Copies of this chain bind each other. A is one copy, B any other.
Amino acid sequence: MSEAPLPGAPVTVVVVDDHAVFRSGLKADLDERVRVVGEAGTVEEAVTAIAALRPRVVLLDVHLPGGLGGGGREVLTRSTALLGEVRFLALSVSDAAEDVVSTIRAGARGYVTKTASGREITDAVLRVAEGDAVFSPRLAGFVLDAFGTASVADDELGKLSARELDVMRLIARGYTYRETAKELFISVKTVETHVSAVLRKLQLANRHELSRWAADRRIL
């Protein structure tokens, strides 16, 4: 790879996970072929650390708290300027298709579930650093499927705006319009507008179908 820094030098890594214990585990289990140069437990810390340290690879927990849904993706969207220089490898307990696809779409170069060993994660980091895309074996199949048929199957979600996603998540959980409005500091009428847009874009009839739709995709 022409982008590789000094051959033989360890790959620099920043670890992002809200669980301090898991970060410690990574630092203990990643072997000497990589070097952990920083860590972060929140979205803010992560964005700051990545911009300052410019690691070769970021090991990113998809389920960071903070963003209304999937704070890990927020780190990605706020680091787009660095996407050419820094590679992101997503770490997640979930292997739900929706999570994987949307994370890749946000710019991650690989996706590994947390059941992997330190050795396996090290291997994945190195391959991502070299430009490969890496997926846990049992994810590889449907990731390819997803991107073969993604234009139809999945882009329903991509058509929702950020605010519509906020509203959709709360409504799908059973919040009333009034509760949703209070939670998001907007008027009930605005919630109605967003819900109508969501139902129209997703081609659903009512909030019950929305709940099931979201549950099927594990968006709750």
Using a CB–CB cutoff of 8 Å, the interface residues on chain A facing chain B are: 18-29, 63, 93, 114-118, 121, 174, 206, 208-209, 211-212, 215
Contacts and interface: CB of A to CB of B under 8 A. Distances in A.
Contacts of A24: 24-25, 28-29, 118
B20 A118 contact: yes
7 contacts: A19-B114, A20-B29, A20-B117, A20-B118, A21-B29, A24-B28, A24-B29
A168 to B, nearest CB: 15
Contacts of A209: 174
A26 B23 CA distance: 10
A62 B115 CA distance: 15
B22 A114 contact: yes
Given A93-B93, A174-B208, A209-B174, A114 B215 contact: no
Contact of A21 (B118, B174, B211, B215): B118
A21 B125 CA distance: 15
Nearest to A65: B115
A149 to B, nearest CB: 21
What 6 A-B pairs are tightest by C-beta distance, nearest first?
A25-B25, A174-B208, A21-B25, A24-B25, A24-B28, A19-B114
Nearest to A171: B208
A195 to B, nearest CB: 14
Contacts of A26: 21, 25
Nearest to A20: B117
A121 B21 contact: yes
Contacts of A93: 19, 63, 93
A24 B115 CA distance: 12
Contacts of A18: 115
Interface centre among A21, A206, A208, A212 (most CB of B within 10 A): A21
Contact of A25 (B23, B206, B211): B23
A174 B212 contact: yes
A150 B23 CA distance: 37
Nearest to A114: B19
A28 B29 CA distance: 10
